[in-house]
Structure 1
Amino acid sequence: MAMAAEVTDADRAMAREILEDAIATPSAKGRGQVPALIEMFSARLRKAGFGPEDIQLVPVDIDGEPTAGLVVRYAGKNPATKPIAFLGHMDVVDALKENWATDPYVPTEKDGYIYGRGSTDNKAGVTALIASFIRLKAAGFVPERDLLLAFSGDEETGMMTTRALTKHPLVSRAEFALNSDAGSGLEGPDGRYRFNIQAAEKTYANFTISARNPGGHSSAPRADNAIYALAGALKTVEAFRFPVEFNEITRIMVADLVEEQGGELGGALTALLANPDDAAARAIAEKYPQQSNILWTTCVATMLQAGNAPNALAQNATATVNCRIFPGTSVDAVQARLANLVGDSLEVKLLGQGVASPVSPVNRPLFARLQKAMDATYPGVTLKPSMSSGGTDGREFRNAGIPTYGAGALALRAEDSRAHGTDERVPIAAYLKQLDYWDALLRDLGGRT
């Protein structure tokens, strides 16, 4: 492994400047600013010595708006060796200025934080990687194999750029990918840190359940009422339980939860590990949805639309049902189950696209190297593989056959988890500490094959 270079005040100032410039570029869908953000990154990379051939755009037109993914190649000595891809997303969920204490697109320092949209999700990740590539280039580091940045431009809305990135001739060859968007950790009230290695995530899919009939005047109610039919169907969906499932990642997670939680939940999880069909243990686990949602597929009604006038029987009634699907279960299978539950008189349709997300295999040599980088940043933190109930670019990379794992060292307190919400902020010290982590990891992974 190449010797680490001490992070200097100049390095920190450079990384912070890149972050603030990124926050000031409103890269939400509809604003057309992702290309401007890419140009800002590219100008800095060119100045650092990356050639035009090393900085490649992956243009995509989405609903008439031009956007793009970004691929940056840090050329290695042996281009025949499979590269490593480092992921992040440049786009953000838009923000309403009137709801914020600060302007969401004017980076503002306050109380040790930088406030601004995207400050944690995910501009803290992509800018720390950009800064780390620049630092390594300035130090004269030459990796043994190619290191690639693969940044998407629409992770928050459709992941079309993500899919295009997985087909890029450089990125598609990656041995594996490390996702900065799944690399943050938690600093507890006791000052202890917890980081995981995301190795799986649930598939995200939306379905509509619709009831229709001829309707009529509200003064003459009829037996086949569309709203009542939909309500009955939703109660059936509410009562249904998808089976308990495990994979090699969630077995590790559940065993850790048993040790950490103990008590009623720990006992229930132990019973489910031994017998996934234990109904009594499941009933207890369901009382702890924040922990138990990794055990099964979930489907829940989130939106309703029905009727067209207060004095008319509804002709249409539709509910949106959001499902988070356990890896290995297909979207089609969940749709078929919902259709079976609600019966032939109602229609179940997939909204948009649902993408299956297989589990990345446990890679113990890689995990050891991730642990080594964490030891250099937050000593005493033990990394464990995990599965996320949310969705990231990682699902598309896994679906394309590229094993993908969460990596990073951004430590947040519980009150700092404001992604997509108002007054999003990143702790300045925690943001800058990422430079130590990425220096150690990039040198280690790039220094050998």
Structure 2
Amino acid sequence: MRKVAAGFFGLLMMGAATTAQAQAPRPDQLAFREIFEELVETNTALSVGSCTEAAAKMGARLKAAGFADADLHHITAPSNPKEGSLVAVLKGSDPKAGAVLLLGHIDVVEARREDWTRDPFTLIEEDGYFYGRGTADMKGLDAIWVDTLIRLKQAKTPPKATLKMALTCGEETAEAFNGADYLVKNHGPLIAADFVLNEGGGGRLSADGKRESLSIQVGEKAAQSYLVTVTNPGGHSSRPRPDNAIYQLAEALLKVRAYVFPAKMTDTTRFGLEMRAQRADAVGAALKTLLANPNDAEAAKVAATDVNVNSILHTNCVTTRLDAGHANNALPQRATAVINCRIFPGETVEGTLETLNKVVGDPGVKIEVIPPVRPIAINPPLDPKVVGPMKAVAAKHFPGVPVIPSMSSGATDGRYFGPAKMYVYGVPGIFGDPDGNGAHGLNERIRVSSLYAGRDYLFDLVKAYVGAK
């Protein structure tokens, strides 16, 4: 998952509740560990890996647990033979009870052995952590989904509601094929559900391992990049001319930097901003004013000085790349930049492009959308039928730890379910370290105790949704 801050973990620092304790694994945890190990040790990076292989291995485990071939669907687009998906269906006993979909991407960010302390594609347990690419993002949760289906299949009585699982490929590479998108467009009835449980939520630990807060992801921004181009006849650098492609581009980018998109709020972001407003500082005071009057531009400007508030307060556009000129002794004939925008729910790619053009206000500056254009996630409601069980089960497993709804400033595969009008929620349960656990970086890891505790929580949560005993 591409995320800088998931919701309000950056906004809120709650009092410590409990400390995750390492214990000897139970037999059922060891069985789960085998699933997790197999996933981590199956390379699913785009360059040399295969999601199809990982999906096949998980399908074999489900079949061995009693799933019929008719309930296991291995789906691969002919154009992308290594980027296959697995959809598994555990039919409920009551056709009127609906369905829940467990969603997980099984692809991972690239990892080079020479850069890592340990082999990134070998699961290594060391000093209370599991190390390996995908341990935190998100093969731990994938393994929990597979393990949950196996345990419910082997139970004496089936759940009332139907439980589905989709393991897909392509979340980590926006420019490549995406399995979730492919399923929604080509196999909609197969994955149809009342709501979807996905990555994006979680829990926050303090540096010493104390549980501080749990997060439910309820909504996310959309990521979209735009190419900015200025062209010029150029010439010899000894004969400067009034117009210069680099200066013209720079002036346009400075206008974008100075522009602040209007403040927007959802029910979810308002909840977090109200909590942040309780702090006795300038940002807190500005938020109180802004919550009373969302059109107060000056209050929004002050509130946005907190980067965590700024990331969820409105659409954000920032320059991320520059390229200009062709020789040291020549006037530039072309200057380009990439602006990356994180678009607030309810706004559009086209509308953001229109705003950028108005802000720059220079017909000599060309701004265009960089393909692909992905769907924009729909903003889910704080549905008590979904959020209520998350909080109730958390009170049992993690007493005293607050459960906070959040909107992600990053993006997940949840965005692809907007056209299908399926609400997607990022589940709490797996606590992470404040440094991000090396996700997308070197030496990715997850605490052993956090993964096992999260597994217990999520199993009980899924049982609550599907009416399993």
TM-score range, shorter chain: over 0.9
- The reply to whether residue 418 of structure 1 matches residue 438 of structure 2 is yes
Moved over 6 A (4+): none
Partner of 1:174: 193
Deviation at 1:78, TM superposition (A): 2.8
Residue aligned with 1:142, SS:
coil
Paired with 1:358 and 1:102, the residues of 2 have a C-alpha distance of 40
Partner of 1:129: 145
The one-letter code sitting in structure 2 at the alignment partner of 1:245 is K
Partner of 1:154: 170
Deviations 1:357-391 (A, max 9, x none): 22111201221111122223212223232111000
Paired with 2:452 and 2:306, the residues of 1 have a C-alpha distance of 35
Partner of 1:4: none
Partner of 2:406: 386
Decide which of 88, 97, 115 is 1:72's aligned counterpart.
Answer: 88
Deviations 1:259-302 (A, max 9, x none): 3x343222111111112232432232122112332111100000
Deviation at 1:98, TM superposition (A): 1.8
- The reply to whether residue 429 of structure 1 matches residue 449 of structure 2 is yes
Paired with 1:415 and 1:160, the residues of 2 have a C-alpha distance of 28
Which is worse superposed, 10-19 or 163-172? 163-172
Partner of 2:330: 312
Tell me, yes or no, if the aligned pair for 2:212 and 2:402 is still in contact at 8 Å. no
- The reply to whether residue 109 of structure 1 matches residue 125 of structure 2 is yes
Partner of 2:38: 21
Deviation at 1:171, TM superposition (A): 4.5
Decide which of 347, 355, 365 is 2:385's aligned counterpart.
Answer: 365
Deviation at 1:81, TM superposition (A): 4.4
Tell me, yes or no, if the aligned pair for 1:225 and 1:313 is still in contact at 8 Å. yes
Paired with 1:384 and 1:32, the residues of 2 have a C-alpha distance of 36
Tell me, yes or no, if the aligned pair for 2:87 and 2:191 is still in contact at 8 Å. no
Residue aligned with 1:182, SS:
coil
The one-letter code sitting in structure 1 at the alignment partner of 2:137 is D
Partner of 1:227: 246
The TM-score normalised by the length of structure 1 is 0.93
Tell me, yes or no, if the aligned pair for 2:124 and 2:130 is still in contact at 8 Å. yes
The one-letter code sitting in structure 1 at the alignment partner of 2:457 is Y
Residue aligned with 1:104, SS:
coil
Residue aligned with 1:151, SS:
strand
Paired with 1:182 and 1:266, the residues of 2 have a C-alpha distance of 26
Decide whether aligned partners of structure 1 residues 398 and 169 sit closer, same or farther in structure 2, where only a CA change above 3 A counts: closer
The TM-score normalised by the length of structure 2 is 0.89
Deviation at 1:166, TM superposition (A): 2.2
Paired with 2:442 and 2:226, the residues of 1 have a C-alpha distance of 28
- Number of residue pairs the alignment of both structures matches: 439
Decide which of 193, 202, 219 is 1:184's aligned counterpart.
Answer: 202
Deviation at 1:138, TM superposition (A): 2.1
Tell me, yes or no, if the aligned pair for 1:32 and 1:65 is still in contact at 8 Å. no
Partner of 1:11: 28
Aligned positions of 1:287-326 closer than 5 A: 287-326=305-344
Residue aligned with 2:82, SS:
strand
Aligned positions of 1:180-219 closer than 5 A: 181-189=199-207, 191-219=210-238
RMSD: 1.9
Which is worse superposed, 91-100 or 78-87? 78-87
Decide whether aligned partners of structure 1 residues 412 and 77 sit closer, same or farther in structure 2, where only a CA change above 3 A counts: same
Decide whether aligned partners of structure 1 residues 8 and 442 sit closer, same or farther in structure 2, where only a CA change above 3 A counts: farther
Tell me, yes or no, if the aligned pair for 1:376 and 1:436 is still in contact at 8 Å. no
- Structure 1 residues not aligned, in runs of 5+: 1-6
Deviation at 1:19, TM superposition (A): 1.1
Aligned positions of 1:247-286 closer than 5 A: 247-259=266-278, 261-286=279-304
Decide which of 92, 100, 109 is 2:108's aligned counterpart.
Answer: 92
Decide which of 135, 152, 166 is 1:119's aligned counterpart.
Answer: 135
Tell me, yes or no, if the aligned pair for 1:416 and 1:425 is still in contact at 8 Å. no
Paired with 1:24 and 1:144, the residues of 2 have a C-alpha distance of 35
Paired with 2:154 and 2:340, the residues of 1 have a C-alpha distance of 47
Decide whether aligned partners of structure 1 residues 10 and 185 sit closer, same or farther in structure 2, where only a CA change above 3 A counts: same
Decide whether aligned partners of structure 1 residues 136 and 204 sit closer, same or farther in structure 2, where only a CA change above 3 A counts: same
Deviation at 1:65, TM superposition (A): 5.2
Paired with 1:8 and 1:424, the residues of 2 have a C-alpha distance of 22
Decide whether aligned partners of structure 1 residues 28 and 400 sit closer, same or farther in structure 2, where only a CA change above 3 A counts: same
Decide whether aligned partners of structure 1 residues 416 and 358 sit closer, same or farther in structure 2, where only a CA change above 3 A counts: closer
Residue aligned with 2:76, SS:
strand
The one-letter code sitting in structure 2 at the alignment partner of 1:222 is R
The one-letter code sitting in structure 1 at the alignment partner of 2:235 is G
Deviation at 1:445, TM superposition (A): 1.0
Paired with 1:408 and 1:86, the residues of 2 have a C-alpha distance of 13
Deviation at 1:69, TM superposition (A): 2.0
- Structure 2 residues not aligned, in runs of 5+: 1-23
Residue aligned with 1:293, SS:
helix
Decide whether aligned partners of structure 1 residues 197 and 402 sit closer, same or farther in structure 2, where only a CA change above 3 A counts: same
Deviations 1:147-195 (A, max 9, x none): 011122111113621112224244453111111x113210124723311
